[in-house]
Amino acid sequence: MADAKIEAAKAHWSGRMVSNGMPLADFQDVTTQTKSWDDWCTALSEKGDMHADLGNEAEANGFSLSAGEHYVTAAVCYHFGKFLFVNNPEQMKSTHQKAVKIYTRSLPYLSPPGERVSIPYGKSKLYGNLRKPIGIKTPPVVILIMGLDSAKEEMYHNETLFLDRGMATLTFDGPGQGEAEYDLAICPEYEKPVQSVINFIKTRKEIDGNSIGLWGVSMGGYYAPRAAAFCENLKGCIALSGPFDLALCYDSLPELTRTCFNYRSGGTTDQSFREIASRMTLKHVAKQISCPLFIVSGLLDRVIPSDHALMLETAATNAPEIKHLAIADGGHVVNNRAYKYRQACADWMAKRMME
């Protein structure tokens, strides 16, 4: 009998894994040959090792572009090995460290290249990857905001969409995410880390600190509009399949997702988990969003029901523009039909940046 958790991963995240850079053959190998969820992280770590070896060989032979591409693929495999593997924290963290290390190694070889940056956040630091389009002086910048189980090492293909259209990207791990998840719990008031990122951007003279947009995926589809309700002078905000009010769908979340939320929330009891989830709502703040808003939802979403997107569309009464792209055959974040929204989002943001 197939492992229920592996079957859930296939059902909910197959489109995401492949559209974000895991080779289809690797995905098929892991999801058909791995018999137990306990072996999931190991199986994908081994795939990551294989791609890292290809990168090492390419780098040794002087093929830096190929090396960067192989390292990015390795990082994606490592990431999806650890992304929900909270049942084994030690293995999760060690595999995550491999993802961070190999992706950082790829940065100088990418086109355009990237830079690992450290962002002050209270008494802590947040880490991100900054990439700037080639040939554009002082480009506008899009802040890419992660979800519950995503991390900056997963975002190469999403960054490319903005970079190709003349925008810089700053992809960062916030509280409860990626590199920050081990020291900082989930922050429902996500305007706090986003404001820290904006403050950092304004210290960088080679990018335009007056032309900033937000993009948020999954739980980041809550974090981005939440931040837009408090952070000023944004050019636009893209919200992909985020919850409007997490408490409304907490009980219906896939088991892996709910377990991951509980683990990264900072709570210790069922009551505390639910209290933290109840703080993750746009109900009383969506009316404060004053920048253009692009909402994407999949009507077949089995993680965050698509009616949450309608709630945001209805509640954001002061946004000067709202575009809601609802994909009839789209699942969570519409990654099973990525071509139906990714280019449209990037084009929309590029136009907002020019206004």
Residues 58 and 168 in one domain: no
Whether the Cβ atoms of residue 239 and residue 225 lie closer than 8 Å to each other: yes
Here the tokens at position 186 are 């989930």
Omega before residue 23 within 30° of 0, cis: no
Q: At 166, which CATH number?
A: 3.40.50.1820
| b/e map 65-104, b = 16+ CB within 10 Å | ebbbbbbbbbbbbbbbbbbbbbbbeebbeebbebbbebbb
Distances (CA, A) of 23 to 73, 90, 93, 99: 8, 26, 23, 16
Mean pLDDT of the chain: 97
Strands (E), the chain: 114-121, 124-131, 141-145, 168-172, 212-217, 236-240, 293-298, 322-327
User: Is residue 157 helix, strand or coil?
Assistant: helix
What is the distance between the alpha carbons of residues 319 and 141, in angstroms, rounded to a whole number? Answer: 20
Phi, psi dihedrals of residue 125, rounded to the nearest 5°: -135, 145
Residue range 154-171: average pLDDT?
Answer: 98
Q: At 74, which CATH number?
A: 1.20.1440.110
What is the distance between the alpha carbons of residues 181 and 178, in angstroms, rounded to a whole number? Answer: 6
Instruction: Give which of 256, 255, 119 is closest to 179, Cα–Cα.
Output: 119
pLDDT of amino acid 1: 57
- Looking at the DSSP bridge assignments, the partners of residue 213 are 142, 236
Residues 95 and 121 in one domain: no
Residues 104 and 220 in one domain: no
Residues 209 and 103 in one domain: no
Instruction: Give which of 304, 300, 295 is closest to 261, Cα–Cα.
Output: 304
Residues 314 and 179 in one domain: yes
**Domain end position, chosen among 55, 88, 110:** 110
Question: What range does the domain containing 197 cover?
Answer: 114-355
Whether the Cβ atoms of residue 102 and residue 122 lie closer than 8 Å to each other: no
Q: How much of the chain exceeds pLDDT 70, in percent?
A: 100
Residues 254 and 332 in one domain: yes
What is the distance between the alpha carbons of residues 197 and 159, in angstroms, rounded to a whole number? Answer: 17
Residues 6+ apart with CB under 8 A from 150: 83, 177, 178, 217, 218, 220
Residues 169 and 66 in one domain: no
pLDDT of amino acid 165: 98
Span 126-159, pLDDT tens digits: 999 999 999 999 999 999 999 999 999 999 999 9
What is the distance between the alpha carbons of residues 34 and 305, in angstroms, rounded to a whole number? Answer: 29
Residues 192 and 299 in one domain: yes
Residue range 187-205: average pLDDT?
Answer: 98
**Domain end position, chosen among 59, 83, 110:** 110
For the chain, the domain total comes to: 2
Residues 57 and 124 in one domain: no
Cα torsion through 102, 105, 106, 107, rounded to 10:
130
pLDDT of amino acid 326: 98
As to burial, measured by CB atoms within 10 angstroms (0-12 exposed, 13-18 middle, 19+ buried), residue 307 is middle
Residues 97 and 124 in one domain: no
Residues 48 and 148 in one domain: no
**Domain end position, chosen among 58, 92, 110:** 110
What is the distance between the alpha carbons of residues 233 and 251, in angstroms, rounded to a whole number? Answer: 36
What is the distance between the alpha carbons of residues 160 and 154, in angstroms, rounded to a whole number? Answer: 12
Span 9-54, pLDDT tens digits: 888 889 999 999 999 999 999 999 999 999 999 999 999 999 999 9
Q: Does the pLDDT value for residue 189 go beyond 90? A: yes
Here the tokens at position 228 are 């837009």
HSE-CB at 63 with a 13 A cutoff on CA atoms is 11
Residues 105 and 225 in one domain: no
Span 295-326, pLDDT tens digits: 999 999 999 999 999 999 999 999 999 999 99
